[in-house]
Amino acid sequence: MTKTLLRSGDLDDFQAVGGGGQAVFDSALQIRETLRLRKQLALVDCLAIPQVNDESDRVAWYAPIEGKAIAWKAADADTRERARRFLHNTFESALALSRKSLQSDKTAQQLFGALLEKALQFPGENHVYLVDGKPVITFWGFINLNENTRVDALACLTLPEPEPVIEQLPEPPVDTIPEPVMFSDGDKPLFTPPPPLPEPPFTPVEMPEPEPEIAIPLIPEAQPQPEKTVPARHRRIPLWSLPVAAVVVAAVAVPLLWKQRATAVEPTPVVTQAPAPIELPAPADLPKLTAGLPLHQADVVKAKEENVAEKAKPEDEPVVIAAIPKDALVMEAGELKAGTTRFLNGSWRVLGDIKDPTGNAPSLRYQIQNNKGTARVVHGKNIVCRADIFSGLHQNGELLIKSRGAARCADGSRYPMPEITCKAGTSDVAQCTGRYDARTIVPLTFKKTGA
């Protein structure tokens, strides 16, 4: 039966994850078979089948079930939501199995639990396909370079919340200006009076004759007699007495007005008090100056204090510069600024607190030239393993040394290789760490053994 090819790519484009010192990809087929034996068929159908090429640098992923395959983004929202819920339930069952295996007393069960937990990681939604409506994940056990594992492996498949739709209310109608009224006949009146109502027909009405009035004699009223008025007598004053009266009034008023003006103009005297004299205290006797020389020189207290403080300071201790070992890995600042790693060319022995399953420290040697090289590992009973490696500088100035997967051993097994990160320390001596997985990070030291 021919399987459907879903995706292929270089192993160097992604970062492998694992647990217990072993990568998930190295045991991908064993993990799928173990899940099948444990009746986890839903999860088995969600994990694509990997196939590595002869050079072990590319991998192709095939669908485990038959049907038409479409990309995750090509499906509609409802189909993706159903597939996401299916993956969520399947992953919950897988995590429960992983936790149960990690609590086992058997080492093999613990290793399976650690690998199963990391097997659920994948780079992103571009690596998920829908085959016959069911989700299938490629590059499971890998994440993007320079990224960490996600707490929720399905977070990249969550549909974004729809943006709220803002309804725009229609604008109120603009008040239209009424059209001017045009009169065609300006001479005609605006209002036409109503036609006159027809007069009702005249009907003569017979009026009764008035009765004859009876005349009553009136008694004449007595008329009031007019009162007799006595004419008033007017006393005449002779004209010659007016000038005489004016002279008398002037003679009496002038002395009175003159006396009143004299009393108003007379000023009142103002009494001023002279200020009391201020008695100043007698000046104290000043010291007499003598012409005798020399005078005393001025003294500055602050300068004296500074001189005393300088004398009290202890002498600066000599700076001790530690000698740099000849075989140490020195990350020269000039080469880092130029973006080159010529300081890494040569043969190196890597030392670290690493133990293999037998309890012995493996021998790890690197041969690097122009950011490419090989790694040689000797562990256990003189089992030799080799792996291709490459190096480069990160934007933050750190040196990265990675391998193209696990090392291939002479007995057919695989040995995990650390991802090494170095940064310049004291005197530019490299401080390196090796990361085998998210929980296993050990310090490493590089010793040069040859050019």
Alpha carbon distance 416, 27 (integer Å): 12
Task: Name the phi and psi angles at 253, rounded to 5.
Answer: -80, -30
Q: Given this model, what pLDDT does residue 159 score? A: 63
Q: Given this model, what pLDDT does residue 120 score? A: 93
Contact (Cβ atoms closer than 8 angstroms) between residue 50 and residue 61: yes
pLDDT tens across 129-174, in order? 999 989 999 999 999 988 888 999 999 887 665 555 566 666 656 5
Phi-psi region of 355 (alpha: psi -120 to 50; beta: other; left: phi over 0): beta
**Inter-residue long-range contacts of 113-119, CB under 8 Å, 24+ positions, other chains counted:** 114/18, 114/19, 114/20, 115/18, 115/19, 115/20, 115/22, 115/24, 115/27, 115/31, 116/31, 116/35, 117/19, 118/17, 118/18, 118/19, 118/24, 118/149, 118/437, 119/24, 119/28, 119/31, 119/47, 119/94
Non-local (6+) Cβ contacts of 145 within 8 A are 13, 14, 15
Q: How many CB atoms lie within 10 A of CB 115?
A: 26
Alpha carbon distance 398, 423 (integer Å): 5
DSSP assignment letter at 240 = T
Q: Given this model, what pLDDT does residue 324 score? A: 77
Task: Output the CA torsion 151→157→161→163 (10° steps).
Answer: 130
Q: Given this model, what pLDDT does residue 230 score? A: 46
Q: Given this model, what pLDDT does residue 211 score? A: 54
DSSP annotation string for 373-403: EEEEEEETTTEEEEEEEEEEE-TTS-EEEEE
Peptide bond into 269 cis (omega under 30): no
DSSP assignment letter at 125 = G
Partnered with residue 435 across adjacent β-strands are 419, 441
Mean pLDDT by runs of 10 across the 451 residues of the chain is 83 86 88 91 93 89 92 91 93 92 90 92 93 93 89 83 60 58 56 61 55 50 50 54 69 66 51 55 54 50 54 52 77 85 89 77 89 89 88 87 88 88 89 87 89 72
The model's pTM: 0.41
Q: Please report how the helices 107-119 and 77-102 are oriented relative to each other, as an axis angle in degrees rounded to 10.
A: 160
Q: Which one, of 117, 112, 28, 115, lies nearest residue 64 by Cα?
A: 28
Alpha carbon distances (Å) from 41 to 37, 95, 122: 9, 15, 19
Q: Given this model, what pLDDT does residue 316 score? A: 52
Query: Radius of gyration (Cα) for the chain, nearest Å?
Result: 61
